[in-house]
Amino acid sequence: MLVIQRYGAGLPMYRIAKWQEYFGVPLPASTQWELIDAAAAVPEVIYERLIERGAQGTLIHNDDTFMRVQSLRREIAAQEDGGRTGIFTTNLLCQTGSNQIALFFTGRKHAGENLDELLKRRAAELDKPLQMCDALSRNSPKSSPTDLCHCLRGGERGLQSPWAGRILATLMKTKPTQLARRVELGKHIVADPEICHGQPTFKGTRVMVWIVLEQIEDGLTWAEIVREWDGKVGEDAIAEAISIADLVVKHEPFRGFNVGTRRKPARRAAGIAA
């Protein structure tokens, strides 16, 4: 049940712990990890087989997101060589015939490095796969050949001429990206096309505003949110996020100040009440 809640429904462990408290059976995150680890032997065999199958795919999408793992953070804090300090979760979405296999890897490797490791398991007689990703160099494997296909939206942002962007957008039958430069949304929040594809984020971080707004809606206190982000998002920043909530849309770049209400009014009310 814990595995289904955590990895099937995507519930964070702190939420599962709160849910358990309602039933009078405390189950902290550390205990949840121990129980899941003890039951992991059989799923690991299946997962290894999925990796083997995914490596044979004809099309592979890959990308990173930042992750927090306490053991890795301690390892990074102890290092003395000034090496990489980031922790990432990579998703490799592999198309094999009519099936898609979603693989996730969490650690200190970037998406391109994890794709390299996957393609080491690819059958030698197969052609190189198509690879779809944005234009970040860290998404490209260094030693395994692929037919690289950058997403067109990422390519549009790199065009120097406005008319070229409009032509590309017409060919794509979509609207051109409206955010072409960094926009200060407040003292603590910015929308920058070079950061998280223009989604509003807290300054000096890659923490997207919509994530914090959803944490408020889920019932987290401001103090809990501050601790969750290690103080990178303070209470003043949370208050500012609530004040501009109508301009924030999940997974979408900032489109401007005159686009009308972008979020349901109930969400902002819930944030203020929290």
Question: 223 lies in a domain?
Answer: yes
Question: 178 lies in a domain?
Answer: no
How confident is the model over 195-247, as pLDDT tens digits? Answer: 888 899 999 998 999 999 988 988 889 998 998 888 899 999 999 999 998 88
Would you place residue 162 in the very low, low, confident or very high pLDDT band (cuts 50, 70, 90)?
low
- CA dist 95 and 266 (Å) reads 39
What is the pLDDT, as a whole number, of residue 127? 94
What is the pLDDT, as a whole number, of residue 258? 53
- Mapping DSSP to helix (H, G, I), strand (E, B) and coil, where does residue 183 land? strand
Would you place residue 180 in the very low, low, confident or very high pLDDT band (cuts 50, 70, 90)?
low
How confident is the model over 133-151, as pLDDT tens digits? Answer: 887 788 889 999 999 887 6
Residues 161-177: what's their mean pLDDT? Answer: 53
My answer on whether 128 and 90 are in the same domain is yes
Position with higher pLDDT, 170 vs 44 = 44
| Rg (alpha carbons) of the chain, rounded to whole number | 21
Q: Which residues of 207-245 are buried (b: 16+ CB within 10 A; e: fewer)?
A: bbbbbbbebbeeebebeebbebbeeebeeebbebbbebb
CA 196 to chain centre: 9
- State the amino acid at position 207 in one-letter form: V
Would you place residue 266 in the very low, low, confident or very high pLDDT band (cuts 50, 70, 90)?
very low
Position with higher pLDDT, 53 vs 153 = 53
CATH number at residue 208: 1.10.10.10
Domain range for 224 = 183-273
How confident is the model over 27-69, as pLDDT tens digits? Answer: 998 899 899 889 888 888 999 999 999 999 999 999 998 888 8
What is the pLDDT, as a whole number, of residue 120? 95
Cβ–Cβ under 8 Å, residues 129 and 147: yes
- CA dist 94 and 100 (Å) reads 6
Number of domains in the chain: 3
Over 70: is that where the pLDDT of 24 sits? yes
Question: 215 lies in a domain?
Answer: yes
Question: 51 lies in a domain?
Answer: no
Torsional class of 217: left (φ above 0), alpha (ψ -120 to 50), beta (otherwise): alpha
How confident is the model over 97-127, as pLDDT tens digits? Answer: 899 999 999 999 999 999 999 999 999 999 9
Question: 161 lies in a domain?
Answer: no
Over 90: is that where the pLDDT of 81 sits? no
Would you place residue 267 in the very low, low, confident or very high pLDDT band (cuts 50, 70, 90)?
very low
My answer on whether 110 and 41 are in the same domain is no
My answer on whether 138 and 92 are in the same domain is yes
Final residue in a domain of this structure, among 92, 125, 150 = 150
My answer on whether 145 and 61 are in the same domain is yes
